[in-house]
């Protein structure tokens, strides 16, 4: 029924309608042919029932004007007018829908806009939509008669889109014209709604009406953030539509000069190519050439793809490069003669930057991260991603999961409740999964044992810890119990322990965040691998030892360097000096924490120097960010901008990525 979507609230006494079964009931409109229509509001009619000397309010069926519900029957005209006004002002309200459903109103009748769910979506009434779905869940998979669109196409905000997606609505369902819900969100300039769709798996490069992708449509909306989001989530910048027009070409046709220059510059930073659409009757080479255009980038034919000559196609962004024609299987153990190590920094929600870097590596290589590396080390958010790699979760899935997870976990004020984070980890890795349930690649997560002084670094492993011959740092203390063995260690607890950042979350038992001692776990991972190999040699298993040949260290973004005015802490003699001391103490405390947890600087220099000394290829990939981003940032716009800066970084360092891919794919 069309008007269902306009039902929102109702007055508090609506439940009293059921106190008398002779007042609320289904009636025939024909019974009121001899009665006067005193008031009429849409489907709601107030009759003066002369034979019964009453005033009756009837709600007429939209599809069957001969039947309806009598909502009340009152003897006094004044009372009837007051109640009618209350009902008419409450049309579209949630309680009204509940009343109708309790009166056995059918909610599976097709109206002009489709089923009732479409009206609920049209007016963004979440409560009404939920009640309708609870009565007829099949409506979320229906198509409206006008556009052939799903209810998701009608979602006007993030809340409504999220509600449908949680109930199983197909995020990539198409309308009669071939458009997805993402196309509609972009056309309507609904950024929040588009982000929800993208983070639930919407295809950012889906071709809709006339072959237009969402990025084609975004070019006319003057919404830079929308364009960034689409490209960050995989939209191709040089895909032509049915008319041969690329998004860049459409951007060049924008009338407003400032907007046109801004968008063209934006696209060029990630390698967008400008070309004219083909002209009828003119060879494609001539029709698409634009030698004099300032954004023209000459495109040469790519060489054949091979392991010895792997090119990143033209100047296209590596993270969106076309996949090679070959798909390599796992080369671990049997074919590779050397080991590869992947190290992932800590950084809270900025782990999205690591995800974006890994997506670029996977797309350029055509191989899953799990099959590119033999060892994976992670701290905090890097530890969660290390476990995701171990359990074969795609990075595209993890990107969407991080966007969704942040709103669940970072709720309220610090320190946050641990429950949502723990539920997320259990849901992703299983409540009873042990670290040793999956053995390859070898994974280590850093944690800080805080039940002793000084605190110690602990590694959560999915393999048995190597036995060392060096003298222990401290004498054994019977009051300190040893950590659980890998075969007894629950995966979700290991992830929770590695990410127990002080002031953000409470400790997980005796464990604090591994970032306190190893926010960049590279050196600790290399030390662990060396000790592991030495243990194999001592046990007579030297044939199992593989030399480390590549170390890839991924960061969560470098914050800009800013000046500090004062770190002086002294005994104050007046209020001015007291304020100066307090400010200095605050800045000094922040500096101490930053120095202890800094994943860059000398930590990177030492790792690079060590690798160079022993002939190991070392790659440190960590984009410079324009602003300082907190570990608990929840703004979609801020995070999309961080991923955009990562995209630009990947394009600018495409030669380094190319070298890395060649080495990773070498046997």
Running DSSP on this structure, what letter comes out for residue 157?
S
Q: What sections of 410-469 are H helices per DSSP?
A: 418-429
CA torsion through residues 157, 159, 164, 165, sign: positive
Separation of alpha carbons 68 and 522, rounded Å = 72
- Within 10 A of 452 (CB to CB), how many other CB atoms are there? 12
Q: At what angle do helices 381-390 and 491-498 cross, to 10 degrees?
A: 150
CA torsion through residues 221, 222, 227, 229, sign: negative
Separation of alpha carbons 240 and 288, rounded Å = 11
Running DSSP on this structure, what letter comes out for residue 659?
H
DSSP string computed for 563-629: ----------SSHHHHHHHHHHHHHHHHHHHHHHH--STHHHHHHHHHHHHHT-EEEEE-PBPSS--
Cβ neighbors of 291 (< 8 A, separation 6 or more) are none
Closest CA to 373 of 549, 539, 197, 169: 549
Residue 272 exposed, middle or buried by CB count within 10 Å (0-12, 13-18, 19+): buried
Give Cα 244 distance to the centre of its chain.
Answer: 32
- Vertex 60 angle, CA 59 and 66, to 5°: 140
Strands (E), 352-413: 375-379
Coil, strand or helix at 456 = strand
Residue 110 exposed, middle or buried by CB count within 10 Å (0-12, 13-18, 19+): middle
Separation of alpha carbons 7 and 105, rounded Å = 14
Separation of alpha carbons 145 and 142, rounded Å = 10
Separation of alpha carbons 103 and 96, rounded Å = 11
Give the per-residue SS3 of 237-299: CCCCCCCCCCHHHHHHCCCCHHHHHHHHHHHHCCCCCECCCCCCCCCHHHHCCCCCCCCECCC
Any idea which residue has 């590279």 for tokens?
522
* Sheet architecture: strand order including 25-28: 25-28, 67-74, 54-60, 44-49, 36-41
- Vertex 325 angle, CA 323 and 326, to 5°: 100
- Enumerate the active-site residues: 380, 513
Torsion (CA) 204, 206, 210, 212 in degrees, nearest 10: 20
Cβ neighbors of 182 (< 8 A, separation 6 or more) are 171, 194, 197, 198, 202, 203, 204, 206, 214
Any idea which residue has 């992830």 for tokens?
495
Per-residue burial over 220-231, b = 16 or more CB atoms within 10 Å of its CB, e = otherwise: bebbebbbbbbb
Closest CA to 128 of 88, 90, 92: 92
Q: Are 643 and 353 in contact (CB under 8 A)?
A: yes
Coil, strand or helix at 465 = coil
């Amino acid at each position: 029924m069309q008007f269902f979507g306009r039902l929102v609230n109702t007055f508090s006494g609506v439940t009293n309608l059921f106190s008398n079964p002779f007042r609320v009931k289904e009636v025939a409109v024909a019974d009121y042919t001899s009665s006067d229509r005193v008031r009429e509001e849409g489907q709601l009619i107030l009759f003066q029932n002369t034979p019964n000397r009453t005033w009756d309010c009837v709600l007429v069926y939209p599809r069957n004007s001969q039947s309806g519900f009598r909502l009340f029957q009152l003897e006094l005209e004044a009372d009837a007018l007051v109640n009618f006004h209350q009902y008419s002002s409450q049309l579209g309200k949630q309680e009204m829908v509940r009343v109708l459903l309790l009166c056995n109103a059918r909610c599976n009748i097709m109206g002009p806009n489709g089923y009732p769910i479409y009206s609920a979506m049209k007016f963004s009434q979440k409560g009404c939509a939920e009640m309708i779905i609870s009565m007829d869940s099949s409506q979320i998979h229906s198509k409206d008669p006008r556009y052939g669109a799903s209810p998701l196409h009608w979602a006007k905000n993030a809340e409504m889109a999220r509600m449908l997606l949680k109930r199983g609505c197909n995020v990539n369902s198409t309308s009669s014209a071939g458009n997805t819900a993402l196309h509609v969100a972009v056309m309507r300039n609904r950024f929040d709604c588009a982000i929800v769709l993208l983070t639930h798996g919407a295809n950012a490069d889906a071709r809709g009406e006339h072959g237009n992708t969402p990025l084609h449509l975004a070019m006319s909306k003057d919404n830079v953030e929308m364009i960034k989001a689409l490209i960050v989530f995989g939209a191709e910048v040089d895909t032509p539509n049915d008319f041969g027009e690329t998004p860049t070409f459409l951007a060049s046709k924008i009338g407003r000069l400032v907007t046109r220059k801004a968008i063209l510059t934006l696209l060029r930073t990630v390698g967008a190519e400008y070309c004219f659409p083909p002209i009828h009757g003119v060879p494609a080479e001539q029709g698409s050439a634009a030698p004099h255009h300032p954004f023209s980038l000459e495109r040469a034919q790519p060489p054949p793809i091979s392991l010895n000559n792997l090119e990143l196609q033209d100047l296209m962004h590596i993270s969106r490069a076309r996949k090679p024609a070959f798909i390599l299987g796992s080369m671990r153990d049997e074919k590779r003669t050397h080991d590869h190590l992947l190290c992932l920094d800590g950084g809270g929600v900025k782990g999205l930057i690591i995800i974006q870097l890994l997506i670029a590596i996977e797309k350029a290589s055509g191989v899953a991260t799990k099959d590119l590396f033999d060892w994976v080390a992670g701290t905090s958010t890097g530890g969660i991603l290390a476990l995701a790699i171990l359990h074969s979760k795609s990075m595209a899935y993890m990107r969407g999961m991080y966007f969704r997870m942040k709103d669940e976990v970072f709720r309220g004020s610090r320190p946050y409740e641990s429950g949502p984070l723990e539920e997320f980890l259990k849901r992703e890795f299983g409540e009873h999964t042990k670290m040793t349930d999956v053995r390859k690649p070898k994974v280590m997560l850093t944690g800080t044992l805080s039940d002793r002084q000084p605190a110690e670094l602990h590694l959560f492993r999915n393999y048995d810890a190597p036995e060392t011959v060096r003298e222990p740092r401290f004498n054994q203390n019977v009051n300190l119990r040893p950590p659980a063995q890998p075969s007894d260690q629950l995966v979700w607890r290991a992830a929770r322990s590695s990410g127990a950042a002080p002031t953000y979350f409470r400790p997980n038992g005796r464990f604090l965040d591994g970032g306190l001692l190893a926010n960049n776990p590279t050196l600790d991972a290399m030390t662990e691998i060396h000790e592991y190999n030495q243990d194999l040699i001592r046990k007579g298993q030297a044939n199992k030892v593989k030399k480390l040949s590549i170390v890839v260290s991924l960061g969560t973004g470098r914050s800009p360097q800013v000046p500090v005015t004062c770190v002086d802490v002294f005994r104050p003699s007046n209020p001015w000096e007291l304020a100066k001391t307090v400010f200095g103490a605050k800045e000094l405390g922040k500096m101490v924490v930053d120095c202890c947890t800094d994943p860059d600087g000398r930590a990177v220099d030492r790792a690079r120097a060590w690798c160079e000394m022993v002939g190991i290829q070392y790659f440190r990939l960590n984009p410079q960010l324009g602003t300082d981003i907190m570990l608990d940032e929840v703004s979609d716009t801020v995070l999309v901008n961080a991923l955009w800066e990562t995209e630009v970084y990947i394009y600018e360092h495409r030669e380094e990525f190319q070298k890395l891919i060649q080495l990773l794919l070498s046997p």
